[in-house]
Amino acid sequence: MRAKKENTNVRRDQLTAAALEVIGREGVHGLSIAGVSGQAGLGASSVYRHFESKDALLDAVLDHLQQRLLRNVTEVRAEAPGAVERLRLLMERHACLLAANPAVPAIVFSDGLSAGHPGRARKIRQIIECYLGEVRAIIQEGQAEGSLKPELDPATGSVLFLGALLPAALLCQLTGGDFQILEHYRKAWPIFRQSVAVG
């Protein structure tokens, strides 16, 4: 059956979202043009009306992901004043994001995306390092205001911040969602807090 005609901007968003769903369900390895188009209710060849290639679609997915991650940082900065509370809120939001979008860890962990595609690997690296940079900035601000330990190396702190949730995301992915990321966050945050905050 022929799908209803839609504006290409709308379809681009739909296909990007469809790709995220498929990746979340079947992993990056399981992402096929037919799968994505099917998820969006289109035939496989229709995808090429809106994206030049599978690579272009993947690039759009990565852009979407980066915006999503950085939006959390912006919101947290707006909502909380101190560095400690900002870190807590950010970790909580990050846990929610990972729990609600299994595609996120799948993409970050995947080597299928960057395989034989140096530009792609660079993009993923840039997304993570950008995120790490934001966390590092919050840590430095916290040290300046005196709420975080001055002897803490901000770069190491940011990597450990990521590490507080990363294995949980991995376990969640491997167990098909059985491992509860949010519950892990609740237990992990106090421990992380204790190792970076003063007092």
Partner DNA sequence: TGTACATCAGTGAACGCGCGTTCACTGATGTAC
Which residues of this protein are in contact with a copy of itself, per CB under 8 A?
A: 26-30, 106, 108-112, 114-116, 121, 124-125, 128-129, 152-153, 156-157, 159-160, 162-168, 170-171, 173-176, 184, 187-188, 191-192, 194-196
- Residue 70 binds which one of a copy of itself, DNA, none, with CB within 5 to 8 A depending on kind? none
Torsion angles phi and psi, residue 82, rounded to 5: -90, 160
* Number of chain residues interacting with DNA (CB under 7 A): 26
Task: Tell me the C-alpha distance between 41 and 60, whole Å.
Answer: 19
SS3 content of the chain, % helix, strand, coil (to 5): 75, 0, 25
Q: Least distance in Å: CB of 106 to DNA?
A: 15
> Rule CB under 7 A: is residue 196 a binding residue for DNA?
no
From the list DNA, a copy of itself, none, which binds 5 (C-beta under 5 to 8 Å, kind-based)?
Answer: DNA
- Distance (Å, rounded) from C-alpha 62 to C-alpha 169? 18
**Smallest gap, in angstroms, from Cβ of residue 154 to a copy of itself?**
11
Among 22, 42, 62, 135, binds DNA (CB under 7 A): 42
Residue pointed to by tokens 């272009």:
56
SS (H, E, C) 165-180: HHHHHHHHHHCCCCCC
Instruction: State the binding partner of 39 from DNA, a copy of itself, none, CB within 5 to 8 A by kind.
Output: none
**Size of the chain in residues:** 199
Answer yes or no: are the C-beta atoms of 118 and 135 closer than 8 Å: no
Residues that bind DNA (CB under 7 A): 1-8, 11, 31-34, 37, 42-50, 53-55
